[in-house]
């Protein structure tokens, strides 16, 4: 383990967090809020500690897969701890475990909250809370790779450790160029959504914070009623961008490169859009009696399908009171998640497709033992290594789910509450059902349960293995 290299990158992460904390300070100045002093203090602390870490670790910056996994995991933990300090030190979230829960939920783009009165927060805290979604959506290490001219052969290890999906590749030969393209697309989509929301009459502060949550597929709202109070146009714009940001970003690269025909070959994207269409139509029919007309039912059904499948977690209505069939579909979507190489969470559509094709291959082998068949995805053969990694991922996901669910039973809440609390944190979705529904929060859980749910949020965002590797003894050997 090359500790110098790890410390060096962690120092840059702290420096960038210090830079990000500048934005809520500006918001505090605009709205003349004293809480801005706390944010300024935390900003200086991050910059100071970051500079020290960079100085200590700059001697040997070469590292590989193991260091990449450890750097990403510890980096996200440090990011969350220092990001929680303004909430805690300002007294707006009086208990540190609650402040940490809220911050981890923000950076991991989960959107699960412990707050019962969101509107009681200062504007700068609301801004920071939503901005953590935007920072965590594309990934802070991807931002580091895009900005810093890092040398050596380890750049791809950082990107693979942080980026979602069974396979992580480069759009262009250089990793830094790939990171810059991804962030360029990300910034453009965010800015475009802000402009469209402003065109629809939404205040600038609301447009910014909701766009951060949409682009990062996070889901923190700045209103106690979620998005119910916004206009149909504004909700529709957010629906469209939730789908856009949960779609494989290769789509937008192909559009930029004028290779639109390549999009039709992206099997995962076509299936993802098909799931949205089928789920929205089915739920619309199932909830039609709860709304004044079929159009209104369809509007809310499409919004919630897009919100849950993209793992954003916004809500326009209390879907906790919907029929059981509609709620069951939403729970299944929590596990599915969006596309690989997007900002969404969940198992990912690509893994689901690969698992189904592996099952079909095994059934074919049983019926025709002498046949030789391979698994194909988007016109390419999926190697045994990728198939094995997908199977191990799903198995590990199931094991973490079962263990977490068992620990949560100590709260003596109902099964639906515990089950969906684990599903929504491990899948980085946000709201669940029953006592963690869209009109409720996670504040009622014990400290132990909150720790488990925080671990789940980090594990889900980092695709399980980077966070689990911290508990593997051989990781720390030189």
What b/e sequence results for 443-473 when a residue is b if at least 16 CB atoms lie within 10 Å of its CB, and e otherwise? bebeeebbebbbbbbbbbbbbbbbbbbeeee
Give per-residue pLDDT as tens, 314-332. Answer: 999 999 999 999 999 999 9
Answer yes or no: are the C-beta atoms of 393 and 335 closer than 8 Å: no
- Summarize pLDDT for 37-52 with one digit per residue, the tens: 999 999 999 999 999 9
Query: What is the model's pLDDT at position 146?
Result: 58
Q: Where are the alpha helices (DSSP H) in 288-323?
A: 294-309
Rounded CA separation 301/317 (Å): 10
The answer to whether 245 and 217 have CB atoms below 8 angstroms apart is yes
Least confident of 330-344, 368-382, 462-476: 368-382
pLDDT at site 170? 47
Higher pLDDT, 372 or 466: 466
Segment 196-206, tens digit of pLDDT: 999 999 999 99
Whether the predicted pLDDT of 60 surpasses 70? no
Question: Per-residue pLDDT for 419 more than 70?
Answer: yes
Predicted pLDDT of residue 66: 73
| Residue 293 CB burial class (10 angstroms; 0-12, 13-18, ≥19) | exposed
**Average pLDDT value for the chain:** 87
HSE, CB side, 13 Å, CA atoms: give it for residue 135: 27
Residue 142 pLDDT = 67
The pLDDT value given to residue 29: 96
The per-residue pLDDT for 168 is: 46
- 181 contacts: CB under 8 Å, gap ≥ 6: 171, 172, 253, 256
DSSP string covering 10-64: HHHHHHHHHHHTHHHHHHHHHHT-TTHHHHHHHHHHHHHHHHHHHHHH-S-----
Per-residue pLDDT, 228: 92
């Amino acid at each position: 383990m090359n500790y110098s290299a790890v410390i060096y990158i962690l120092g840059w992460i702290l420096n960038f967090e210090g830079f990000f904390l500048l934005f809520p300070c500006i918001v505090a100045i605009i709205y003349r809020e004293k809480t801005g002093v706390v944010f300024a203090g935390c900003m200086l602390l991050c910059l100071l500690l970051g500079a020290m870490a960079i100085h200590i670790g700059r001697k040997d910056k070469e590292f590989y897969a193991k260091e990449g996994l450890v750097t990403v995991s510890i980096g996200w933990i440090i990011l969350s701890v220092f990001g929680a300090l303004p909430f805690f030190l300002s007294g707006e979230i009086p208990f540190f475990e609650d402040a940490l829960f809220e911050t981890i939920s923000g950076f991991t783009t989960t959107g699960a909250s412990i707050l019962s009165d969101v509107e009681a927060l200062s504007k700068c805290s609301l801004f920071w809370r939503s901005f953590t979604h935007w920072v965590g959506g594309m990934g802070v290490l991807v931002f580091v790779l895009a900005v810093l001219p890092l040398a050596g052969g380890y750049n791809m290890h950082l990107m693979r450790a942080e980026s979602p999906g069974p396979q992580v590749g480069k759009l262009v030969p250089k990793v830094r160029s790939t990171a810059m393209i991804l962030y360029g697309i990300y910034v453009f989509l965010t800015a475009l959504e802000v402009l469209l929301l402003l065109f629809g009459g939404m205040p600038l502060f609301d447009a910014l914070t909701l766009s951060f949550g949409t682009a990062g597929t996070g889901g923190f709202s700045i209103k106690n009623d979620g998005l119910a109070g916004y206009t149909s146009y504004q909700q529709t714009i957010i629906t469209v961008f939730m789908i856009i940001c949960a779609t494989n970003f290769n789509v937008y690269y192909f559009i930029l490169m004028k290779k639109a025909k390549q999009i039709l070959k992206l099997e995962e994207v076509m299936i993802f859009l098909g799931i949205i269409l089928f789920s929205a139509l089915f739920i619309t029919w199932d909830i039609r009696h709860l709304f004044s007309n079929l159009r209104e039912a369809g509007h809310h059904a499409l919004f919630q399908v897009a919100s849950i499948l993209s793992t954003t977690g916004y809500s326009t209505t209390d879907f906790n009171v919907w029929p059981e069939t509609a709620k069951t579909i939403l729970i299944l979507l929590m596990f599915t998640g969006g596309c690989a190489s997007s900002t969404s969470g969940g198992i990912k559509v690509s893994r689901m497709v690969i698992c189904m094709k592996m099952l079909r291959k095994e059934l074919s082998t049983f019926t025709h033992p002498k046949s030789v068949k391979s698994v194909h995805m988007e016109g390419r053969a999926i190697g045994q290594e990728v198939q094995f990694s997908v199977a191990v991922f799903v198995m590990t996901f199931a094991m973490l789910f079962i263990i977490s669910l068992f620990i949560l039973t100590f709260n003596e809440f109902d099964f639906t509450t515990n089950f969906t609390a684990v599903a929504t944190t491990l899948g980085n979705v946000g709201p669940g059902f029953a006592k963690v529904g869209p009109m409720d929060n996670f504040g009622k859980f014990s400290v132990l349960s909150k720790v488990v749910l925080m671990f789940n949020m980090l594990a889900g965002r980092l695709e399980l293995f980077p966070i689990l590797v911290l508990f593997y003894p051989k990781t720390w050997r030189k």
